[in-house]
Amino acid sequence: MRILLVEDDDRIADPLAEALTDNHYMVDIATDGQEGLNFAASLPYDLIILDVMLPRIDGIKLCRQWRQAGNKTPILMLTARDTSSDKVLGLDAGADDYVVKPFDLPELLARVRALLRRGETALPPVLEWERLRLNPNNCQVEYNGKLLHLTPKEYSLLELFLRRGSRILTRSQILDNLWSFEDPPGEETIKVHLRSLRQKLKTAGASANFIETVYGLGYRLNQNL
């Protein structure tokens, strides 16, 4: 899942982005309101974490602007202001939740999970394909009852395939979904992660072409296992 973090203080943004990445989220960081606006116009996000005090466009105005434009992405606001009137202002602007700095990281991550679950009501809690099961709630992956030990990128790659079903994913789509704007790798990197993921699936008993290559187009889960 992809999260947009709009925060101009790198003492907050960097460790928060690292914690989110460790929890298998893809994170883009915008350092001012205008940049946040541009990011959200470029890619669909599953969640926006939005600071109130931002350069160029403040968080309240930005939140209101997104809602008026019909953007329904869940928004979690961050602020140093701890008064009822400030919370009401943020919620009235369209925010879904509100966290006061300095925040407790485990609590913030719990709020992130809660907001993401709201947007997933139509999705099954456990993603399955053939004998593969991926549980987004605890990030566990099993094939035929055998636990797979995946890296964060391998997990994210497999989850992306499972959420797309039999649809083909191009390399550029994989890059857009799994890597940030600031750290785009070459397409060879996808092959490396995919090769490792296939090997782990094969070791657990899956077919060697569980994830098949559609030459000239991309990759997808094999429908004919």
pLDDT in tens, 96-151: 998 988 889 999 999 998 898 876 544 557 889 999 999 887 788 999 999 999 98
Query: Which of 68, 69, 59, 2 has the alpha carbon at shortest distance from 34?
Result: 59
Helix spans in the chain (H): 10-22, 33-42, 59-68, 84-92, 105-118, 152-164, 171-178, 187-203
Q: Which residue has the tokens 């070791």?
A: 203
Which amino acid makes up residue 109? L
Asked if residues 6 and 75 have their Cβ atoms less than 8 Å apart, the reply is: no
Report phi then psi at 103, rounded to 5: -105, 160
Q: Which residue has the tokens 């203080």?
A: 9
Asked if residues 96 and 71 have their Cβ atoms less than 8 Å apart, the reply is: no
pLDDT average, residue stretch 89-96: 87
Q: What is the mean pLDDT of the chain?
A: 88
The Cα 153–Cα 142 span in angstroms is 16
Residue 108: what pLDDT? 93
Residue 202: what pLDDT? 94
What structural domains and CATH numbers belong to the chain? 2-118 (3.40.50.2300), 127-221 (1.10.10.10)
Q: Which residues pair with 30 in a beta bridge?
A: 6
Residue 47 host element (H or E)? strand 47-51
HSE toward the beta carbon, residue 116, CA cutoff 13 A: 21
Residue 186: what pLDDT? 76
Q: Which two tokens stand for residue 10?
A: 């790198």
